[in-house]
């Protein structure tokens, strides 16, 4: 059984700003979140049951921060970050 992804409006804006190369990697990350959202790391190591997680995607430059509500089959995507390093 899969989880429903609920993407915050601010995260939607962040997704629209991603470079094309990041979109495929993000799609793969969303597949993981829909099937096994527990694969992400807790945002705060001192509170692993807090419900807020992060999942690295794209080999490292991407990061999804999300809430995994207890007793619900839903993942609330809060923030999508992509770090693009400029080459000189």
The neighbour count for residue 71, using CB atoms within 10 Å, is: 5
CA contacts within 13 A on the Cβ side of 6: 8
Domain ranges of the chain: 4-82
pLDDT in tens, 6-33: 999 999 999 999 999 899 999 999 999 9
d(CA 83, CA 81): 7
Quick one: pLDDT at residue 87? 66
What kind of fold does domain 4-82 have according to CATH?
Answer: YaeB-like fold (3.30.2310)
pTM: 0.89
């Amino acid at each position: 059984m899969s989880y429903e992804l609920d993407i915050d409006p601010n995260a939607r804006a962040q997704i629209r700003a991603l470079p094309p190369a990041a979109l495929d990697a993000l799609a793969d990350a969303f597949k993981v979140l829909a099937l096994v959202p527990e694969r992400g790391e807790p945002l705060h190591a001192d509170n692993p049951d807090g419900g807020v997680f992060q999942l690295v995607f794209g080999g490292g430059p991407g990061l999804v921060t999300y809430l995994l509500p207890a007793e619900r089959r839903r993942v609330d995507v809060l923030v999508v970050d992509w770090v693009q390093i400029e080459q000189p």
